[in-house]
Chain A
Amino acid sequence: MNLQDIYQEILLAHNENPNHFESMSDATHQSYGNNPLCGDEITIFVKIENDIVKAVSFTGEGCAICKASSSLMTDTLCGLSLSDAVDKTQKFIQLLSDESIQVPNDLGELEALLGVRKFPARLKCATLAWHTFLKATADEHR
């Protein structure tokens, strides 16, 4: 367990200046997610047009890991087809939760979040945005 694994520069930067940290007036989907034990709470906004995720943004309050993960998620999912976005989200949640899963080599910046695999108490912080994205778009992929 190493502190640098979890508080990487890249995450601290996303926490300080998160991307797409705003509400979205023309969102087609949105959902609220929270971690009742710790107080992280975010709202995820999604705009889907012709089955393409045109835009993702978020608002709310949370710890550095929660905020950085939300910011990275908005970067990752923008522009994907809805089914690819859902697939990517589900796989990433699994990857964070299960240390035995081999790390794919196309993660890019998301790799910085893998440190939470050694900090199980922080897993919920890292996955909140992703779960909330699935919740927001649940009607489309159920």
Chain B
Amino acid sequence: MRKYISLIICVFIFNSLFSQSNLVKGSKFIGFKYGMSKYSIPNYYHLEYGACVKEKMILRIGVGYEYGAVYTTKFNNEYLNLDFIYNVYSFKNKFSFNFGLGAVGGMEHTYSIRNPFSNLIPIYGFRGVGEIEYLLRDRFSIKAEFAQWYLPESYLGNLFFTGTIGLSCVIN
């Protein structure tokens, strides 16, 4: 909880320095998200770089790292995401509601806590993203993202969801 409060404070401090929306065509932004899945509480980290390729449409690439344990199976996963985000609703350029679909690739490292077994396998799939974004004086925004993942080759099971909050900053 303390981490989340710190994050929000940081957002407001940086907010006073910049001002530009990331939904304007040509704008680029970087962002960081932090959150959890059901079995990685709260150990999911995501760095992203995005570009508004068309009005209301964002192409976003990101890397994620997640670690946790499903009972006796520990895991740490690295993800590479490519998301197409579409802004479906915007309120006074301040509050945005985005949906997106993305491809996922990465590596999954699982190991048992009961015996010396481990596996490192490539994973791939896609995910659907729902995102709420609140623009803070244009350049900075805070985001809350919910994503449903589908990774058919994952040893951990092919479906899971993540919830994250984060900070995004327009860089041009």
**A, B in one complex:** no
